[in-house]
Amino acid sequence: GSDDTADEAVRSTCDDATVCKRFAVSMNYWKDPYIQYFIKQPNERKAPEINRGYYARVKAVNILMDAFIKKTSCNCQVINLGAGLDTTFWRLKDQNLLPKKYFEIDFPMIVLRKIHLIKTKPPLSKPIIETHSSSSLLIDGCSMDSDRYTIIGQDLRDLPVLMERLKKFGLNTKLPTLLLAECVLVYITPEKSAELIKWASSTFNTTMFINYEQVNMTDRFGQVMIENLQRRQCNLAGVDICQTLETQKDRFLLNGWDHANTMDMMTVYNSLPQADIQRIEHLEFLDEKELLQQLLQHYCICWATKDSGDFGIRDIMF
């Protein structure tokens, strides 16, 4: 049906994200020894402003996530919504920052692919087996469960089933929980994302939600971004072109979250450790600085908190 076609186009976006990250890693923007197992060397170059944009996106998410994990002394859970081929679990393991349990959710088709890659690449499977107490991993249909890492093939728009499956795999609603949606809500209708956001705030007492996506799309540049995505038949159900930094924040505040912060990615870029920014700006020459500015002003990161346990997560900042 047309729904399946639309979902298929959305699923293909996970490759786009990983191809771009893979290329930036190959150019030394940041280190990720695991991404090579998900995408072979990309044969297409990406423009310098794209690479810098991905650098800011990955750094920003890592900074906020690591701060949350440290504030809770790793006594927490992470739920990566629409995780695609993300490699964060392996990074956290290497940096001794593994939460009690790390969950990933994506469409069954993506999850099956990821499980296959994990099973067949020892550098990916080793950390999962090492942190697992029994000798066999539970693989059921389109999910895989271990003590510290669980991946679930499940549509994010069906919350009752999602909750049931998370519980089956040991979700503890009493533990501080970080939810991440990196370029995901934009593919879900505003109503469905609001439900997801509300479900999270009502399920966990101490929690943070990190959302990364497009913003300020009403101008010419924003229109071109949307047209480019639509040309690839992407179902941008959640692109509300009127979203501003303010409405991004309100979306959380109106759905049960106590505090919310937003920054456009240009502001984030300027707030990142400047020594590292200088390093990456030397990797590739970027002629037109305005290009980067324009691009990054159309993406934002929003992080909302609810802190009944007084862990100080409300103070997390760049």
CA distance 59 to 88: 12
Handedness of CA 216, 293, 49, 57 (dihedral sign): negative
Could you report how far apart the first and last alpha carbons of the chain are, in Å? Answer: 44
Tell whether residue 84 is a contact of ligand SAM (CB under 6 A): yes
Q: Of 82-90, 241-249, 259-267, 274-282, which segment contacts ligand SAM by CB under 6 A?
A: 82-90
Given 39, 83, 200, 210, the residue binding ligand SAM (CB under 6 A):
83
Closest CA to 52 of 301, 268, 248: 268
Tell whether residue 239 is a contact of ligand SAM (CB under 6 A): no
Neighbours of 164 (CB within 10 A): 12
Closest CA to 105 of 96, 97, 114, 94: 114
Q: ∠9-86-74 over CA atoms, to 5°?
A: 140
Measured from the CB atom, is 195 or 284 closer to ligand SAM?
Answer: 195
CB 82 to ligand SAM: min, Å: 3
Tell whether residue 182 is a contact of ligand SAM (CB under 6 A): yes
Given 65, 183, 210, 316, the residue binding ligand SAM (CB under 6 A):
183
Measured from the CB atom, is 69 or 152 closer to ligand SAM?
Answer: 152
Q: Which residues, in sequence order, are CB contacts of 19 under 8 Å at separation 6+?
A: 39, 42, 44
Tell whether residue 301 is a contact of ligand SAM (CB under 6 A): no
Q: Of 67-75, 78-86, 130-138, 298-306, which segment contacts ligand SAM by CB under 6 A?
A: 78-86
**H helix or E strand, kind and range, residue 9:** helix 2-26
Tell whether residue 86 is a contact of ligand SAM (CB under 6 A): yes
CA distance 154 to 123: 26
Handedness of CA 300, 102, 309, 206 (dihedral sign): positive
Given 24, 79, 179, 184, the residue binding ligand SAM (CB under 6 A):
184
Site string for ligand SAM, 157-176 (x = CB under 6 A): x-------------------
CA distance 133 to 31: 29
Tell whether residue 106 is a contact of ligand SAM (CB under 6 A): yes
Q: Of 38-46, 71-79, 178-186, 274-282, which segment contacts ligand SAM by CB under 6 A?
A: 178-186
Under a CB-based contact definition with an 8 Å cutoff, are residues 257 and 306 in contact? Answer: yes
Given 171, 188, 234, 301, the residue binding ligand SAM (CB under 6 A):
188
Q: Of 35-43, 125-133, 180-188, 224-232, which segment contacts ligand SAM by CB under 6 A?
A: 180-188
CA distance 70 to 96: 10
Q: Of 38-46, 102-110, 272-280, 294-302, which segment contacts ligand SAM by CB under 6 A?
A: 102-110
Rg from Cα positions in the chain: 19
Residue 33: both structure tokens together: 């020894």
Tell whether residue 14 is a contact of ligand SAM (CB under 6 A): yes
Footprint on residues 108-137 left by ligand SAM (CB under 6 A): 110
Q: Which residues bind ligand SAM (CB under 6 A)?
A: 10-11, 13-14, 17, 82-84, 86, 105-107, 110, 155-157, 182-184, 187-188
